Amino acid sequence: MLLEQWLAVVLGERVGPLAPASADASFRRYWRFYDQGRSLIAVDAPPEHEDSARFTRLARAFRTAGLNAPEVLAEDHARGFLVVSDLGSRTYLDMLTAVQAAARDSDQRSAQASAMAASQDDRLYGDAITALIKLQRGLPTDELPVYDAAFLRRELDLFRQWLLAELLQLDLSETEAEDLERLFALLIDNALEQPVVAVHRDFHSRNLMLTDADNPGILDLQDAVAGPLSYDLASLLKDCYIAWPRERVLAWVEVYAEQAQAAGLLSAADRPQLVRWFDLMGAQRHLKAAGIFARLAVRDGKRGYLADLPRTLDYLQALGPLYPVLEPLATLIRQRVVPCLSAR
């Protein structure tokens, strides 16, 4: 195995056995191994598909900004090999799922147990929001790709191309197509009117690691861009992999708003717009995510991602009663997409 041979050269000795560390939706593969008693991660990122040099630059920039990102200890960008520090195996998703289960159980036990479960997720999201503020304040945007209108449009088109056409083979009526076009334009305008900050792009429970110090650890940072203020907040609180009651979500949005305003990221004049920015940004992200989940299933054979589609579509349906402009989308999903998906 070329990776093992490279590790032996860069570390000066033959390493112990490599154990699969995690899997994601990309071409990257991760292996955990031990070197002199220290747990490390070897990354195999085929250079024809992945940009290891960009990951290395961004990981170092994240760490300079005070964030708990992987430390790159060895690199061979030509072959796509890296050795990085190990942020552990406890994802936010694992912990938050356990918290939700405990909260459900506590409904049958005591109010005290329920309050303890709620305080746990408040702490986890509080840590994540503090890290997000650090990211937005501390990571320079001048060398990041810009999340512009064309970029946003390409992402939105994934919904129509991969979910509606490829996966569901669903043809839209002329009215439905026009409604979708108007919505796409609205969502792009909503994104572009926001303050521009560094955006992780996948700041959610599968990429946040529960760590004993400097919680959370932050993974999958190589796609960072300069973009809308509310994007990562929507990724975090409108997570495709776990959902919370809206009142809890809005309470966490308020925690973010307080810190963002204090940090100079959000003006007093813009603060009343934050929830709308956040909701519509979430809609853009969920349309994109639904398309990506469909693409992973159809093109790459990773059908496990289809299990996350119902939750992702639920977020979009829930916005219909709150924003009349989104009701045509909610109706399309409720009347045509969900039945078609259920019939598969």
pTM of the model: 0.94
Q: Give the mean pLDDT of 72-97.
A: 96
Q: Is the pLDDT of residue 4 over 60?
A: yes
Q: Give the mean pLDDT of 15-21.
A: 84
Which two structure tokens, joined as six digits, stand for 158?
């994934």
**Residue 267: beta bridge partners?**
none
- The reported pLDDT for the residue numbered 16 is 74
- The reported pLDDT for the residue numbered 109 is 57
CB 45 within 8 A of CB 195: no
Task: Please give the Cα distance from 147 to 284 (Å, whole number).
Answer: 13
CB 284 within 8 A of CB 187: yes
Encode pLDDT of 290-330 as tens digits: 999 999 999 999 999 999 999 999 999 999 999 999 999 99
Task: Please give the Cα distance from 327 to 313 (Å, whole number).
Answer: 13
Encode pLDDT of 91-127 as tens digits: 999 999 998 887 777 655 566 666 666 789 999 999 9
> Who wins on pLDDT, 106 or 7?
7
> Who wins on pLDDT, 116 or 274?
274
The helix (run of H) or strand (run of E) holding residue 63 is helix 52-64
Q: Which domains does the chain have, with CATH numbers?
A: 2-85 (3.30.200.20), 92-342 (3.90.1200.10)
The helix (run of H) or strand (run of E) holding residue 327 is helix 327-332
Task: Please give the Cα distance from 170 to 217 (Å, whole number).
Answer: 40
Give the closest residue to 251 by CA, choosing from 121, 98, 131, 342.
Answer: 121
